[in-house]
C-alpha cells in the first residue's frame, strides 16, 4: 500500500476542495450516502434495490411487499451516518459511548441497541468463533483501551484495525457489520480522508480479508482493499477541482 501517494492525493484534495462547485460537491456526497447505505445494508442481506433505497430515503415513500425491518435498516443507516458526520464536525475522538449511540441508531425499531450480548454466537461460514460471555466483555473493553495506542498506525491502518477488531469481537447480537463499517469511516474522516463504500459485489473479498485478520491477525490484505477504495474516492473528487 502506497500510503505516501494517498497522503499526497489527500493534500491535493484538501487544497483544491474549496474550488469545487458547492452544488456539485453536495450531489456527490448525496450520491455517496445513498450508495453507501445500500451497499452496507445489502452486504448483510437487505433485499432492497438501490432504486428502492433511493425512493425510501429521498422521497419518503414506503416500498410494498418489503419487510418493515429492511426499511428501518436503510432509514436508520442514514441517521447513523448523519450522526457520525456530526461527531466528526465536532472533532470528537471515537469512544465507547459514540459506538453505542451508532449501534442504537442503526437498530432502532429492530432490537434494543447499544447493549452487549451475553449469548454465544457463530458467524455463518467463518472459521473464527467470536468470544463469548466474560471473555467478549474483556475484549471489547481492551478494544477501547487500545485505541489511543493505535495512533502509531497510519490512518488507513487505524481505520481497518478499528473495523476488523470490532467485528472480530462481535459485541452485539446483530448490526456488528454495519456498525464496524461506520466506525471505519469515522476514523477515515476524523483523519481528513474521504469515507468509502464496500460494494456488495465485493463481499466475498471483503469477508476473506476480515477472516484473514480474525484467524491470522494479518491486517495488510484489508488495508490494501480500503486503500484502493480511498484512492478511487480521492481521484474522483480531485477530478472535480477547478484548475
Q: Answer positive or negative: Cα dihedral of 171, 174, 176, 179.
A: negative
Say which of 77, 128, 170, 243 is annotated catalytic.
170
∠ Cα 115 96 127 (to 5°): 70
Q: Is 170 a catalytic residue?
A: yes
Which residues, 6+ apart, have CB-to-CB distance to 104 below 8 Å?
113, 114
Q: Pick left, alpha or beta for residue 133 (phi over 0 → left; psi -120 to 50 → alpha; otherwise beta).
A: left
217: left (phi over 0), alpha (psi -120 to 50) or beta: left
For 148, which DSSP code? G
Per the CB < 8 A criterion, the answer to whether 162 and 148 are in contact is no
- Collapsed DSSP state (helix, strand, coil) of residue 23: helix
Where are any strands of DSSP class E within the chain?
none
Residues annotated as catalytic (active site), given as ranges: 170
Amino acid at each position: 500500500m502506497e500510503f505516501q501517494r494517498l497522503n499526497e492525493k489527500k493534500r491535493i484534495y484538501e487544497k483544491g476542495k474549496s474550488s469545487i462547485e458547492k452544488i456539485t460537491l453536495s450531489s456527490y456526497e448525496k450520491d455517496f450516502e445513498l450508495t453507501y447505505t445500500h451497499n452496507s445494508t445489502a452486504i448483510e442481506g437487505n433485499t432492497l434495490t438501490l432504486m428502492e433505497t433511493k425512493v425510501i430515503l429521498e422521497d419518503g415513500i414506503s416500498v410494498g411487499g418489503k419487510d418493515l425491518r429492511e426499511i428501518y435498516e436503510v432509514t436508520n443507516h442514514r441517521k447513523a451516518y448523519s450522526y457520525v458526520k456530526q461527531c466528526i464536525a465536532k472533532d470528537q475522538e471515537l469512544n465507547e459511548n459514540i459506538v453505542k449511540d451508532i449501534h442504537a441508531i442503526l437498530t432502532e425499531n429492530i432490537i434494543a441497541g447499544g447493549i452487549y450480548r451475553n449469548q454465544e454466537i457463530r458467524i455463518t461460514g467463518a472459521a473464527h468463533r467470536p468470544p463469548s460471555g466474560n471473555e467478549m466483555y474483556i475484549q471489547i473493553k481492551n478494544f477501547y483501551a487500545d485505541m489511543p495506542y493505535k495512533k502509531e498506525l497510519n490512518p488507513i491502518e487505524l481505520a481497518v484495525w478499528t473495523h476488523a477488531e470490532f467485528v472480530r469481537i462481535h459485541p452485539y447480537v446483530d448490526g456488528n457489520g454495519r456498525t464496524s463499517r461506520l466506525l471505519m469511516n469515522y476514523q477515515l474522516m476524523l483523519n481528513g480522508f474521504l469515507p468509502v463504500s464496500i460494494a456488495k459485489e465485493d463481499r466475498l473479498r471483503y469477508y476473506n480479508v476480515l477472516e484473514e485478520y480474525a484467524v491470522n491477525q494479518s491486517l495488510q490484505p484489508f488495508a490494501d482493499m480500503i486503500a484502493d477504495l480511498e484512492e478511487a474516492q480521492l481521484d474522483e473528487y480531485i477530478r472535480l477541482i477547478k484548475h
